Amino acid sequence: MVTRIAGGALLFAVGTGLVVGVCRSLRRELRQTRAVAQAAQRVLLRPLPSRLGGLSVAGTQLPALPGAVVGGDLYEAVATPYGVRVIIGDVRGHGLAALGAVAAVLGSFREAAYEEPGLGGLLRRLDRALQRYVGERTRDEGAGHPASGSPPAEEFVTVLLLDIHHNGDVLVLNCGHPWPYRIGAAAEPLAAGEPLPPLGAFPLPDTLPVRRCDRLLPGEALFLHTDGAGEARDAAGRFFPLEEVLGRIARRAPRTPAAVIEDVRAALLAHTGGRLADDVSFVVVRDDRVPAERVLVPARTGEPGPHRTRPAPSSR
């Protein structure tokens, strides 16, 4: 009897040690995996510069998967010879499975944004990069092989491209992405016609509809977002009132891009109880030019008399 008890205790101790060892190993592997994911996130979605060519900029991503540090959304902003260029997009799916398409599109944007004079050429470069990635993934997975029975790999990416010129002109090219909001005295959607289908869903048409939106005035901001924000619901199934939240922000004192994002983020998490069904990303770009003032200057006649007015020089 004593021998059996001693043997059972020994087995229990050995089993407990093995379980503890396995748990420690799993925790160590989890920490390593999270470290790799965080490094990948920093490379792919690197922090946006706070200022670009007279604009204040901020961006953030909220992954849908609890505890995740990566998602299927993408964004970037760069100052180029053609103006400040901004991209925001959403890859079909989220988490690690979407990282390949995110890397392909962002990598192409970061190179082509400096080389392509127009948004149409830039979008075609992004499309070719996505097609190359899909082709490589198809080969790697052996998709389409008679023995595999798997369909070819498919990736769809919604993309919104913006060119913001030094005078505030905004050019836009949209592939299936939510339109941005302009935040000034109020908040209003900045829509410019029907968007193209998501990138990768169909071949691009011969003519791409690059559109000029209303000019962004000094002090105004653009709020860009992925559809995870507009489609977020509360426990009762009600959609997140994004435009209403932005309207409240517009009626308050001017907010920095980072403060606008934090206000919307807090409202979104409060609405959903912290449970997101999809990745959500926000980018805010504010025009920091000093509004033109009318300054009295002498008329160039060499004699006293009437004065004329001219705009004060811009801070840019």
Residue 65 pLDDT class (50, 70, 90 cuts): confident
Is residue 191's pLDDT more than 90?
Answer: no
Please tell me the total count of domains within the chain.
Answer: 1
Q: Which has the closest alpha carbon to 172: 129, 214, 201? A: 214
Question: Is there a domain that residue 127 lies in?
Answer: yes
Of 80, 79, 99, residue with least CA distance to 91: 99
Mean pLDDT of 223-232: 95
- Residue 4 falls inside a structural domain: no
Q: How far apart (Å, rounded) are the C-alpha atoms in residues 203 and 62?
A: 31
Q: Is residue 109 one of the residues assigned to a domain?
A: yes
Residue 35 lies in a domain: no
Find the CATH number of the domain harbouring 63. 3.60.40.10
Is 7 part of any domain? no
DSSP for 105-120, please give it.
HHHHHHHHTTT-SSHH
More confident call, 50 vs 306: 50
Are 168 and 190 in contact by the 8 Å Cβ rule? The answer is: no
Residue 165 lies in a domain: yes
Q: Which of 3-12, 39-48, 249-258, 285-294 has the lowest mean pLDDT?
A: 3-12
Domain enclosing residue 245, as ranges: 44-286
Rama region for 149: left / alpha / beta (φ>0; ψ in -120 to 50; rest):
left
Q: Which residue has the higher pLDDT, 139 or 181?
A: 181
Q: Is the pLDDT of residue 304 over 60?
A: no
Cβ atoms of residues 130 and 251 within 8 Å: no
Pairwise CA distance, residues 272 & 278, whole Å: 12
Confidence (pLDDT) at 26:
55
Q: Quick one: pLDDT at residue 30? A: 43
User: How many CB atoms neighbour CB 168 within 10 A?
Assistant: 16
User: pLDDT higher for 199 or 38?
Assistant: 199
Q: Which residue has the higher pLDDT, 141 or 17?
A: 141
Can you tell me the distance from the alpha carbon of 89 to that of 174, in angstroms, rounded to the nearest whole number? 10
Q: What is the share, in percent, of the chain residues with pLDDT greater than 90?
A: 58
Residue 16 — left, alpha, or beta (φ > 0 → left; ψ -120 to 50 → alpha)?
alpha
List pLDDT tens digits, range 141-178. 765 544 444 444 567 899 999 999 999 999 999 999 99
24 lies in a domain? no
Q: Assess whether pLDDT exceeds 60 at residue 199.
A: yes
Q: Specify if 32 maps to a domain.
A: no
Q: Is pLDDT larger for residue 192 or for residue 46?
A: 46
pLDDT band at 260 (very low <50, low <70, confident <90, very high): very high
Question: Can you list the positions of beta strands (E) in 65-196?
Answer: 73-80, 83-91, 157-164, 170-175, 181-183, 187-189
